[in-house]
Structure 1
Amino acid sequence: MEKRKSIIAGFDIGGAHLKVTRAEDGRIVEAATIATPLWQGLHNLTSALDKAAPIYAGADLNAFTMTGELSDIFPSRDTGVAALLDQISTRFPTGEKVVYAGPSSFVGVEQAVRLSSDVASANWHATASLVAKLAGDALFVDMGSTTTDIIAVRNGAVANDGYTDAGRLLTGELVYTGFTRTFLFGVASSAPVRGRLTPLMNEYFASIADAHRILGVLDEEDDRHPSADGKEKTVDGSIARLARMVGRDATYLTPPEWREVARWFSEQQLRKVHDAASLVAGPLARDVPIVGAGTGRWQIRRLAERMERRFVDFADIIPADDAIRREASSAAPASAVALLAGRQS
C-alpha cells in the first residue's frame, strides 16, 4: 500500500491579510493571500478561512503564526493572541495543530496561550529560520503590504537583536513600510513638483500602491484592499489620487511628470529601508547575499543593487512547485511554518 502523503497547511494570520499554504511531502504546492481587514471584526477572519478552505482541506497538520494580535479591535497584544488562538481552536476543533513561538519553536495551542509574548508577531522569525536552513549566511528582507522585516542570518541561525515589534523598531529589524498599504506621508513629508518641494497634504488621499502602479511595477494581485478614494485601480486613478497629495489636479502635470513624482515616493521608501538594512547588515561579510521575500521583492532587488550585494529570491530557494513560487514567496511566513513544521513532524 502506498504511504500516505504528509500534508501540512501553514497559516499566517495578519491584521490585513490571511496567508495560507499547503505543503505535500515537504514541498509547497498551493498558496494564497486573502484580504482580511481584521480591524473591522473577527468575522473577516472567518470569511477568509472559508475562502482558503480548499487549500488546507485534509491536512494532517495545521501550523500557525500571526501578527493580527496587533489589530486595534483588541485592547492588548496578549488579549489579541488569546482571541486568535481561540479562533484557531474553534475553526479546527479536531486534528493536530501547532503554533509558532519563536525560540520555543512549535507548541500546542494551550501552551501558546502561556507563551503569548513569544507567539505575538513571530512570523518574521519563522521565515528567517527557514532562510537560515536553506541559505546559511544572509541578510533576509521581507517586504509585505505593510511592513518590512530585515534580519541577519549567520552560521545557519537567526541573529536578531530585537524580538518584539517594539524591540525590532529600535534595532532597524522592523521598518513600518510596505509595498502597497503604506500612506504616502509615511515615507515623505514633501515631494518635488516642477522644481518646488511641496509639503504633502496630511490626508490619506493615496497609498504607495498608487506610486508603484504609476511606475508600472505593481502586480495588481498584490493590492487587495480598496484604494484611498474607493475608485478604480488604474494609472489614471492613481495619478488623480497622487495629485491630491500635493494639492493639485491630475491635469496639472503630464503623465511623465507624475511618474517622476511617483518615483520620488518609491525612492523615499527605499532610503528608509536602506538606512535600516545598513545597520542590520553591519556584522555580515560583504559577500553575504540579500534574500528577498514578499510582495515588495522589486524594491528589495533595488536595495541589493544599492548595497552591492547579490540578490537571491526566496521564491527560488524554497521547495515549491514552479507555478506557485511567486505566491509562496508573497505568503512567505505561511510557507515557512508549513515547511518548518514538516521538518519536525
Structure 2
Amino acid sequence: MEKYKIIGWDIGGANIKATKIIYNQQKQKLESIKSVSKFFPMWDQNLNPKAIIQEIYHNLAEADYFAVTMTAELADRFSTKIEGINFIVDLFKNNFTNKKLFFFNNQAQLFNPLEIANNFDRLLELAAANWSVSAAFAAEFKSDFVLFDLGSSTIDLIPVKNHQIAARGRTDVERLKEAELIYLGLLRSNLSNLTKNIPYQGQMVDVINEYFASTADLHLFLDIITPADYSVSPADNGEKTKKAAAARIARMISLDLNSISAGQLQLIADYIYNQEISLIYSKLLQLYSRFSLDYKIPLMMNREAALFENDLKMRSDFNFISLEELIPVLKDNTLTTTAAAFLLLKKLTKTDLTKLKELAND
C-alpha cells in the first residue's frame, strides 16, 4: 500500500473527535492531517451518535483504517460500562463494515474486533483509554515527563519514564486515587464543586449547591478563554458573553448583576480561580512526590493546560515544556485522535514517528 489513510477517533461523553492522516509510505512522508471535533451529549438517549460520526467521516473523506478510543461508556444512557463499550464497538462494526477497525485499551494496545469479541475482560479494558493513547504518543518523542492534558471535563496527569507510561492507575477509580485524573475541566465543570463558600461583604457565604455556572464561565470572565472557545452549553442555555458569565457566577450565592458590584464579582471570580489552581497544584505535588522532589522531570502541557502555566509558575519550580513545540504536527490538531491515528500507523508500518513531527513540504 503506497498511502495509508487513517482516522483516529475519540468517542467522549460530550464530544466526538476525529483526526485523519495520510501517510505516503513510498516517500515516507506525512502528506496531510486534519482534525474535527463536534459537541455531542452522549447522555441524551434521544440522540443517535451514528449521524454525527458519519457527518465527521464525510467531512474528513475516505479512509481505510479506523483507530478508536473512548470515554463515553460512562455516559448516563448506559447502565453499565460494558453496555457502553459494546454500544460503541458495535456502532463502528455495524456501520463501517468496509473499514479495518482497531480499538485501544488502557495500555495503548490495539485490538481488532475479533480479538475483543465476547472477551469481557479485554472489552472492559477499552473503557476510558484515551489518556494512555495520548501518553504513549508523546512518549515516542521524549523519554521522561509528566503529561498535563487539560480537556473540557478532566485533567490527565500521566508520568512517563524511559519512554514508557509509568502510571499506577489504569481504571478511572485507580487514577483518581493516584492523582493521575482530576475531574476538573476547562469548560464543563460545575463551579460549585470548586468551593464550599466564597467571600462577600466581609463574610464567607455558602455556595448554593446547584449547577448555576461552569468553569467556562469563570475562564471567560477572567479572559482565560474567548467566547469562541466556549464550546459547551451554558448552565442556563444563555449567551456566551462575559456579562452572561458574570450573571451565572453571581447566581451561585443568589445574586444578580443588579445586586453585586463589578469589584465584588471580580473578587469572587479571583477567589474561585485560586481554589482551582490550588487543587491542580496539590495534585501535582502528590504526583511529583513519587519521583522528583526537585521538579526536574518536566511537565509537558497541551495548549489548554498552558493557559494555567503562569499561575502554576508562581507556586513552584516546575519545568514546563510545550507539547505543540515538541510535536509541531499537533498545532491546530487534537491530541487524542492524532495520537490514535499515528500509533496505528506505527503498528501497521513500523514507522519512526519522530520523523513525522511535521507535514512534508512537498
TM-score by length of 2: 0.87
**Residue equivalent to 1:232:** 239
Number of residue pairs aligned between Structure 1 and Structure 2: 337
* Aligned equivalents of 1:248, 1:276: Cα separation in 2: 32
1:180 aligned to 2:183?
A: no
**Residue equivalent to 1:302:** 311
Moved more, 300-309 or 182-191: 300-309
Q: Equivalent residues in 2 for 1:1-345 (5 A)?
A: 4-25=2-23, 26=30, 29-41=33-45, 43-103=47-107, 105-113=109-117, 114=119, 115-282=122-289, 283-284=291-292, 286-293=295-302, 295-300=304-309, 302-303=311-312, 306-320=315-329, 325-326=331-332, 328=333, 331-345=334-348
Show structure 2 runs of 5+ residues with no match.
Answer: 24-29, 349-362
CA-to-aligned-CA distance 1:261-318 (integer Å, 9 cap, x gap): 2222222122112111111122136222111126443125533553322222222222
The letter for the 1-side match of 2:320 is F
TM-aligned CA distance change 1:28 to 1:151, over 3 Å: farther
* Aligned equivalents of 2:164, 2:285: Cα separation in 1: 20
Q: Percent identity?
A: 26
Moved more, 7-16 or 44-53: 44-53
Aligned to 1:29, what secondary structure does the other structure show?
strand
Confirm or deny: 8 A CA contact 1:145 1:295 kept in the other structure.
no
Confirm or deny: 8 A CA contact 2:191 2:215 kept in the other structure.
yes
Question: In terms of Rg, which structure is larger?
Answer: 2
TM-aligned CA distance change 1:341 to 1:230, over 3 Å: same
Aligned to 1:10, what secondary structure does the other structure show?
strand
The offset of 1:71, in angstroms, is: 0.6
* Aligned equivalents of 1:80, 1:335: Cα separation in 2: 23
TM-aligned CA distance change 1:129 to 1:216, over 3 Å: same
* Aligned equivalents of 1:173, 1:202: Cα separation in 2: 26
CA-to-aligned-CA distance 1:123-182 (integer Å, 9 cap, x gap): 001101111111211111111111111111111110001110011111111111101100
Confirm or deny: 8 A CA contact 1:101 1:112 kept in the other structure.
no
The letter for the 1-side match of 2:89 is L
* Aligned equivalents of 2:199, 2:128: Cα separation in 1: 37
* Aligned equivalents of 2:305, 2:32: Cα separation in 1: 20
Aligned to 2:245, what secondary structure does the other structure show?
helix
Greater relative CO, 1 or 2 (CA 8 Å, sep 6+): 1
CA RMSD, Structure 1 to Structure 2 (Å): 2.0
The offset of 1:206, in angstroms, is: 0.8
Confirm or deny: 8 A CA contact 2:106 2:171 kept in the other structure.
no
Moved more, 213-222 or 165-174: 213-222
Show structure 1 runs of 5+ residues with no match.
Answer: none
Confirm or deny: 8 A CA contact 1:141 1:290 kept in the other structure.
yes
Aligned to 2:139, what secondary structure does the other structure show?
helix
Confirm or deny: 8 A CA contact 2:34 2:60 kept in the other structure.
no
TM-aligned CA distance change 1:291 to 1:44, over 3 Å: farther
* Aligned equivalents of 2:346, 2:313: Cα separation in 1: 30
* Aligned equivalents of 2:31, 2:288: Cα separation in 1: 30
